Amino acid sequence: MSMYYCKKTRRQFLVGSGKTLLALPLLPSLMPVEAFAQAATPPKRLMMFWFDHGNLNAMWPARSLATTAVGSSGSKEVLLRSLGSTSSFSSVLNNPLYDTLKNSDQLTIVRGLDASVRWGSAHGNFPVASAQDRNSEGGFPSIESVLESSKTLYPDSTPAYVRKAIRVGLLGAGLFYQKVGSGVQVIPHYEDWTIRNFYNEVFGSLTAGTTAPADNTNELKSNILNRVFGAYTGFKNSRKISAEDKARLEQHMGYISDLQKSLGQVAPTPTCSKPADPGSVSDPALCNRIYLDLLAVAFKCGLTKVGVMAFEGQDPQWIPGLSGLGTNVHDAMHGSAGNAIQKTAYEVWWRYFTNLIADRFLAPLNVEEGVTGRTYLENMVTAMLCAGGMQDLGGDNGHSGYDSQQVLIGNMGGALRSGRYVTMPSAGLPYNCFLITLLQLMGVPPSDYAFATPNGQGFGYYGEFPANHVLKGRFYQPISEILT
């Protein structure tokens, strides 16, 4: 092999290459963005609201409206925006924000999941309870504890100020479980009388007037000009550098300065300020509003990626329209006061909380996140979930585990096929498939939750379902019909 001999000196080569590099345009899109508080791709986040009692199927779109086949096992769908206003197909989504979200394809309803287990109902079989069974009876952890322990979602480098899972349970009972050996243990959570603890623990890293958690490393890393200035000064003052090279160096520093200004405009620090101390709260209605306000700020400030709040308890006679039931809300929901009062109880109760969620949690997050071109809501998934669907009124079926409807807002930056009303096959997919879908949307691999059962089957274990179930081949899989 022959070699080509270059007659150019080292200095000539450096000068020539320097001119070539300076002639190239600077491309900010190729620069690292990890140093900035607002990255182009935001972290995955999930907020789950749980309604302990099921819902009336009459409160949601009729199954017959979904006519387009999706997948190969009997699921059907229809675009929600083609069904008219949200209040026309749902008696509990009358807040104008839901119509806005529906029209922008950020509202999704999934119907037809089967949450039936050995104990005969879906009571407790919700996103914050066990994977398969009712609370601790099955010995499985709740989904938020699996998310919290995932090294994929929360690597060791996670800042200390981040609350890996925020749990708010107004039931006043054990709702949240983590795996311990072959059993589970209850995880403490915030209740109405611990709202001050919630505030202090979640927002303790913020100081009044700051725009980000008290961690200045990102600000230091982001200033490119400062980071190269020392080297620039050393070269500029060197007697070995020619006047021509010094001029070129000045020009290069000008380019870096322009780049710094450009990046500063492209990736502004997100708006985030410490909320006011709520003080002591005894009014349940006010307590719920404050919790939702603080949860919205926690997500916006990057203080958590996982949140869950359960609505129940207190027999909420303070909800307008429920005080005249003639019985407590819980009994009314179970049909003890007759069909008319039962229907009123469900619709008024759900409508109150869906409006509260819209006004206090969704609205503050329905703004663009940094420069992603998407809102906080679009970049995450907010879920309004419940035990099961009531196919009719009467009887003690307040926790019916079959044909439930789950409401999702946002699409995790495009990972969810949002904007649809999707009905599952008539045979019913186990509710666990839905939990697996949420885990996958959060980027959690099966290896992070396969430990959940003694047999290593985790959230895909369906031992209580018939061995000859027609959809058994899908029992260990996420719901592909709603994923991109």
Name every residue whose Cβ is closer than 8 Å to that of residue 192 and which is 6 or more positions away in sequence: 170, 281, 284, 287, 314
Please give the Cα distance from 2 to 435 (Å, whole number).
65
- Closest residue by Cα to residue 447 from 434, 459, 431: 459
pTM greater than the 0.85 cutoff? no
For position 472, what pLDDT does the model report?
A: 84
Question: What mean pLDDT do residues 95-107 have?
Answer: 97
**Whether residue 76 has pLDDT greater than 60:** yes
For the stretch 43-64, pLDDT in tens is 899 999 988 777 788 889 999 9
**Position 407, amino acid:** V
384 and 449 together in one domain: yes
Query: How high is the mean pLDDT of the chain?
Result: 77
203 and 231 together in one domain: no
**Whether residue 260 has pLDDT greater than 70:** no
Domain that holds residue 448: 46-210+278-482
Residue reference for tokens 């099966």: 446
- Measured distance between the N- and C-terminal CA atoms of the chain, rounded to whole angstroms: 53
Question: pLDDT: is 466 or 9 the higher one?
Answer: 466
201 and 237 together in one domain: no
Q: Is residue 237 part of a domain?
A: yes
For position 21, what pLDDT does the model report?
A: 40
For position 20, what pLDDT does the model report?
A: 38
Confidence grade of residue 39 (pLDDT, cut at 50, 70, 90): very low
Q: Is residue 12 part of a domain?
A: no
Q: Which residues pair with 383 in a beta bridge?
A: 48, 408
Question: In 143-286, where do the E strands start and end?
Answer: 166-169, 177-180, 183-186
Please give the Cα distance from 255 to 241 (Å, whole number).
20
Q: Is residue 11 part of a domain?
A: no
66 and 151 together in one domain: yes
157 and 225 together in one domain: no
Q: Is 160 helix (H, G, I), strand (E, B) or coil?
A: coil
For the stretch 276-287, pLDDT in tens is 999 888 888 888
256 and 293 together in one domain: no
Residue reference for tokens 């019916």: 400
**Whether residue 10 has pLDDT greater than 70:** no
Residue reference for tokens 């290896």: 447
Count Cβ neighbours within 10 Å for each residue of 411-443 and write b for 16 or more, e otherwise. Answer: bbbebbbbbbbbbbbeebbbbbbbbbbbbbbbe
For position 220, what pLDDT does the model report?
A: 35
Taking each helix axis as running N to C, give the angle between helix 10-23 and helix 243-266, from 0 to 180 degrees, rounded to the nearest 10. Answer: 30
Number of structural domains found in the chain: 2
Q: Using CA atoms in the order 18, 21, 22, 24, what is the torsion angle rounded to 10 degrees?
A: 160
Q: Is residue 32 part of a domain?
A: no
Q: Are 310 and 292 in contact (CB under 8 A)?
A: no
Please give the Cα distance from 380 to 421 (Å, whole number).
19
For the stretch 279-322, pLDDT in tens is 888 888 888 999 999 999 999 999 999 999 988 755 677 788 88
Q: Is residue 39 part of a domain?
A: no
383 and 259 together in one domain: no
Q: Can you give the CATH number for the domain in which 423 is found? A: 3.40.720
Please give the Cα distance from 458 to 145 (Å, whole number).
13
Please give the Cα distance from 207 to 248 (Å, whole number).
44
Please give the Cα distance from 252 to 246 (Å, whole number).
10
For the stretch 382-439, pLDDT in tens is 999 886 666 667 766 666 667 888 999 999 999 999 999 999 998 888 887 888 899 9
Please give the Cα distance from 469 to 13 (Å, whole number).
73
CA 72 to chain centre: 28
For position 181, what pLDDT does the model report?
A: 73
Q: Is residue 186 part of a domain?
A: yes
Question: pLDDT: is 146 or 95 the higher one?
Answer: 95
Q: Which of 237, 268, 299 is the last residue of a domain?
A: 268
Please give the Cα distance from 422 to 63 (Å, whole number).
9
Q: Is residue 17 part of a domain?
A: no
331 and 230 together in one domain: no
138 and 190 together in one domain: yes
Confidence grade of residue 271 (pLDDT, cut at 50, 70, 90): low
For the stretch 134-186, pLDDT in tens is 333 456 678 888 899 899 999 999 999 999 999 998 766 667 877 777 677 88
**Whether residue 129 has pLDDT greater than 70:** no
186 and 239 together in one domain: no
The single-letter DSSP state of residue 481 is G
For the stretch 204-253, pLDDT in tens is 888 877 766 654 333 333 455 555 555 656 666 666 677 777 777 677 76
Q: Which of 225, 242, 268 is the last residue of a domain?
A: 268
116 and 187 together in one domain: yes
Please give the Cα distance from 350 to 256 (Å, whole number).
55
For the stretch 331-370, pLDDT in tens is 888 888 888 888 888 899 899 999 999 999 999 999 999 8
Element (H, E) at 256: helix 243-266
**Whether residue 123 has pLDDT greater than 80:** no
Q: Is residue 229 part of a domain?
A: yes
345 and 247 together in one domain: no
